[in-house]
Structure 1
Amino acid sequence: MADDSHLVEHRLGSEELFKGRLLHAWRDTVKLPDGGTATREYIVHPGAVVIVPLLDDGRVLLERQFRYPVQQVMIEFPAGKLDVPGEDKLACAKRELLEETGYTAREWAHAGVLHPVISYSTEAIDIWFARGLVDGGQRNLDHGEHLDVFSATPQELAQWCRDGRVTDAKTLSCALWLQNVLAGAWTLEWRS
């Protein structure tokens, strides 16, 4: 691995700008690699999970949900934030799948981690695949959460990614994972 020390910025000071229920904003003064200084504003995020739920017939479960910041209904894979610092990510994935879709899964596989907005957030999203889905028929959405659950073929999802119907970063990343897993190019280690 290359030595990246010539790229690293060092914090000189930090100022809290805002602390809300979800987001925590900071402005840091940093020493640049060339000796100069700059400010960096960023959001501290607790972390999240996203689930790629595979139905036995080859389709995937997706959601349609209005996202206020972009003022539109988005097509997404089920996802949610960690409720407490250090929460087990698989437990979070199981909880979110059940709460949002009403499904449980017999098997789970951790695929990887994505950082959706590295320029201004610490958010890391763990990608989980779920299969052997069982519909419990009962969702338990968070207060104020409204979404539709539907299924699509991987080919339909890929087309929606190509034509711009899907623009959510985590769903685009998961579509790439799904395509490579289904093609046999990327493998997963499944566990019960």
Structure 2
Amino acid sequence: MTAAVKICGLSRAEDVAAAAEAGARYGGFVFFPRSPRHVTIEQAAALALAVPDGMARVGLFVDPDDETLDRVLQTVPLDILQLHGKETPERVAEIRARIGLPVMKAVGIAEPADLPALLDYGLVADLLLVDAKPPKGAALPGGNGLAFDWRLLAGRRMLKPWMLAGGLTAANVAEAIRLTGAQAVDVSSGVETAPGVKDAGLIRDFVAAATGAQAARTA
């Protein structure tokens, strides 16, 4: 078994192609105007249609209202909704029931006191994204290129399947997998040459490092 990789913040057709060619299992599209990786509904629709079979299309939203979700889903064929804001467990459950798609909830971690939220959201979400908690005053809830102490997750059992995110690169993803036992990882800024600009070589190197690390753990 190899680690599943999600390349988030895809905004160009060539980036979708690079992610697919490298073997990524998930492609993420950001519907958050303040992000340098933001795509319009029209852009996302075209990109989503270019995603090949076997690669799930993930829409990232930050505290979305029902109207926003409806507007996107009327046009963009998404497979998973990623909630990356301050959505409560109740709101996560509400969105999941209303939309009828699997929901992934991002949970920011910086210290042991943040860990109980993994249980709270694990009760209502289909998947968890364990990310580095953004620093106070940060403009973005994710994609900041920050890591957290991965040892906080060592030996921890999750209620639902989960992905590790936060400051991952081809150089450190093997160590992150070793310390946390993650079977899926998410990367955005770690495969970019500038905010929002993915690099095919970095994507290829990251996927190779992640899948190689998981294969070594399970050999």
TM class, shorter-length: under 0.3
* Larger-gyration structure (1/2): 1
TM-score (normalised: structure 2) = 0.21
TM-score (normalised: structure 1) = 0.23
More strand by share: 1
